[in-house]
Chain A
């Protein structure tokens, strides 16, 4: 396949589309390597619009890791908006990379990163535009290996027909191992075709090839078992874990786009993994154990990253950033270093904790104090015990009291609706909590113009979590519950007007639930939606619940199941779950016990500070918790 640039053909289409700059590449710190100088070529895709995909840390890291290797090149592609898609189809311009505008089909590996399941239809659009057959079984030696990664890949079964393989866990080392295998196979003259290459990947135990496993079903629709259908294919596939984050200081040269994107900042991942044990949180379960980047490593990444990008903001990323053992010194050290340069610091994902207000004060010492966000997640004390979010109402009031007392004017609180065992009363208590927050705020600030915004998302049970067996609340019940809460807040004469209320309706959550806990039979729904024009399901203006439900009605009943079977049905201990053969390290019996603890409203501690509670990850994956403190400090930068 020719790897010649399609830019001349594309260029003629660009004057007719919205925001053409997103398709031209040329970002600062992007890399274009000569095609012929490399023998393994990756095309990386974040299957969403450029403005969402470009800042994605996962893709940025792998792009740099691969391009640093001699003889290897990586280019990027993103979903094109429907206006360009139509023109590309009309003028026969294939899916292209933004780096050198090469056709995606010309690459050896087409790697897609799925942060969410809502990118599945976009994958099909990209495959089709690329001229790559939608299903793995129809591909030939001239097609790239289609590889899925990212958190959604921990249950790749709904897209099993469309991908050739999947990798679960950290990608940094995995992409290099795959590169070596592809290189050797190509150097030998591609013996045995695609089948042989996939077999070699599969035999490592770290690459899942769905085609090498048969799924057998029981008469009632449940899975009987998942069996390898080739010799040498492992029964279970393991996740990948990078153990020393300081050895992987990526991205070193973050991409700086010309187009406006959702995050415009220098992001540094300060640790990976989380052991808080929130039972709804898939990210916290599948990224164990906790591995911290050292304070000095963080300082170096911020310094070189700011030089390389010119960003005005630094984001200290992780699943719960205030939990870094040296977060106080990190925040103070960075604030001291960059005060004069007017660099803002942000700390997303913080817990409800007065200490975090001190931190936030430190981070905003030169700027305006507008809003602070906390996530109690559950409205009632009982609910928070079920989800293991160990925050008491007293903690919350003390925290917001500190915040309002320090000049913060607005507090935003995140909650979920539809959690296991939840009743109307649990959700209505969110309103009580907001009222108490406002009352406390008025008291400590002596002012009436303070605000509290309550933001509510629908809970979707996820694979590899203690809630993987839980029934999802139907869209109708979710909406009814949220309406009651809205009426209660609006009806409050004294406080109602100080409380903002934001929520999403329950429908998108049902589709997400179908895709999250679906099995291979759900693939037919995805394909049907795609073929009926479904695109960009993460976007409110493009998402169509009706299209998904109609497509499910056309494809699932003939397979003996329906949407409710995947979403609102509770699973039993005995049931074989579609993702059981993908090993996240978590012991299924431990997850079950934790699910039972949830139903008993029993909490579990964090293993960073208490003895191990045997979730199974460390022994299974041969890993261990890596945390400080190192005792080091960030010294002032001597040379400005």
Chain B
């Protein structure tokens, strides 16, 4: 291994139904098509060295998934990003790449910013539910896991939660509320649908159709402002060629909340 590169990728549109396993296979094939000089593990069946971090659940869209690859030859991160992006189907897009100059990347993924689109829900109802949820000390929710029904608190993990009006140009007619929330990555993990269960438990909020959920950002949590910052920024800052690469990079500087899902 001579170089490590960290990549940010998306799961957009209909490809949000890609499971993490499906993505892994697709990504490793893309590595082959793009002829990326991967470092391989030793042994009878060598595998390309790829580390995935904290994948979003199947069916959830994402603008901010991350992984790290190890190369056997040095490559320019931006060229690699473009090449890999072209080798993946539309919707699985590689949106950022930096050479790793720091350690403990996974530790920097402290929280996620999520957006949930609730079709058929009035904003006023959503706002009331949010207020009730935030006012509660704890909000017990249940989720069915492999080990049976599990009960846990969904409140403590939520660093921020707000209700907004739906986009004016959205498809279809009728009410639509948007929830934006910042959730800390704790154990047990609290997912956006757990918060939705919490809103139902505290304020009887019951969307008539499944919520469309998208992860907008993932990274370090600024507790004061409740914002999530770009986890690739420290690598970019530590890069010897920081000044030039950053200027040319697709998400210059510490990324704030990107635009909504495609």
Contact = CB atoms under 8 A, between A and B. Distances in A.
Interface string B155-185: 0000000000000000100000000000000
B107 interface: no
Contact of A312 (B21, B30, B32): B32
18 contacts: A12-B209, A14-B17, A14-B59, A15-B210, A21-B17, A21-B19, A26-B15, A26-B90, A26-B91, A28-B26, A258-B22, A260-B25, A306-B32, A310-B28, A310-B29, A341-B32, A367-B44, A367-B45
Contacts of B232: none
Interface residues of B, number: 30
B89 A27 contact: yes
B87 interface: yes
A7 B15 CA distance: 13
B18 interface: yes
A259 interface: yes
Contact of B40 (A8, A259, A260, A342): A342
Contact of B44 (A12, A311, A368): A368
Nearest to A26: B89
Contacts of A310: 28-33, 87
A88 interface: no
Given A26-B89, A258-B23, A311-B32, 4 more contacts: A21-B22, A24-B17, A25-B14, A26-B91
A7 B14 CA distance: 9
Contacts of A308: 33
A256 B29 contact: yes
A12 B17 CA distance: 12
A562 interface: no
A93 to B, nearest CB: 14
A192 interface: no
A8 B209 CA distance: 12
A11 B172 CA distance: 14
A494 interface: no
Q: Which residue, of A27, A28, A258, A342, has the highest number of chain B Cβ atoms within 10 A? A: A258
Interface string B81-110: 000000101110000000000000000000
Contact of A12 (B18, B40, B210): B210
Interface in A50-83: none
Contact of B14 (A26, A306, A342, A640): A26
B51 interface: no
A420 B93 CA distance: 58
Q: Which residue, of B21, B31, B40, has the highest number of chain A Cβ atoms within 10 A? A: B21
A381 interface: no
Contacts of A27: 89
Interface in B1-60: 14-15, 17-19, 21-23, 25-26, 28-33, 35, 40, 44-46, 58-59
A264 B59 contact: no
A21 B45 contact: no
Q: Which residue, of B17, B87, B171, has the highest number of chain A Cβ atoms within 10 A? A: B17
Q: Which residue, of B14, B29, B58, B91, has the highest number of chain A Cβ atoms within 10 A? A: B14
Nearest to A11: B14
A162 B246 CA distance: 63
A486 to B, nearest CB: 33
3 residue pairs, one from A and one from B, having the closest CB atoms: A310-B29, A310-B32, A310-B33
Contacts of B26: 28, 256, 258
Contacts of B31: 310
A258 B21 CA distance: 9
Contacts of A12: 209-210
Contact of B58 (A20, A264, A307, A368): A20
B45 A368 contact: yes
Contacts, number: 72
Nearest to A27: B89
Interface in A291-320: 306-312
A264 B25 contact: yes
B13 to A, nearest CB: 8
Interface size of A as a range = 20 to 34
A306 B59 CA distance: 30
Contacts of B21: 260
Contacts of A640: 35
Nearest to B119: A12
A20 B17 contact: yes
Contacts of B22: 21, 258-260
B198 to A, nearest CB: 19
Contacts of B210: 12, 15-16
A540 B87 CA distance: 37
Contacts of B171: 8
Q: Which residue, of A259, A307, A309, A311, has the highest number of chain B Cβ atoms within 10 A? A: A259
B44 A309 contact: no
Nearest to A30: B89
Nearest to B210: A15
A123 B207 CA distance: 37
A448 B44 CA distance: 23
A23 B59 CA distance: 12
A309 B26 CA distance: 10
Interface string A333-344: 000000001100
A33 to B, nearest CB: 16
Contacts of A7: 14
Nearest to B46: A342
A337 to B, nearest CB: 15
Contacts of B89: 26-28, 258
Contacts of B35: 640
A640 B91 CA distance: 29
A312 B46 CA distance: 12
Contacts of A256: 26, 29
A15 to B, nearest CB: 5
B119 to A, nearest CB: 9
A20 B59 contact: yes
B237 to A, nearest CB: 34
A312 B21 CA distance: 16
Nearest to A344: B45
A307 B30 CA distance: 10
A15 B29 contact: no
Q: Which residue, of A21, A307, A342, has the highest number of chain B Cβ atoms within 10 A? A: A21
Contacts of B17: 14, 20-21, 23-24
B239 to A, nearest CB: 29
B29 A309 contact: yes
Nearest to B44: A368
A311 B29 contact: yes
A27 B209 CA distance: 27
A14 B19 CA distance: 13
Contacts of B40: 342
A314 to B, nearest CB: 12
A256 B33 CA distance: 12
Nearest to B91: A26
Contacts of A306: 32
A565 B78 CA distance: 70
A535 B35 CA distance: 43
Nearest to B32: A310
Contacts of A24: 14-15, 17
Interface string A241-261: 000000000000000101110
A367 B45 CA distance: 7
A331 to B, nearest CB: 20
A7 B18 CA distance: 16
Interface in A341-382: 341-342, 367-368
B246 to A, nearest CB: 31
Interface string B125-161: 0000000000000000000000000000000000000
Contacts of B91: 26
Contacts of B33: 307-310
Nearest to A25: B14
A306 B34 CA distance: 11
A357 to B, nearest CB: 20
A526 B82 CA distance: 52
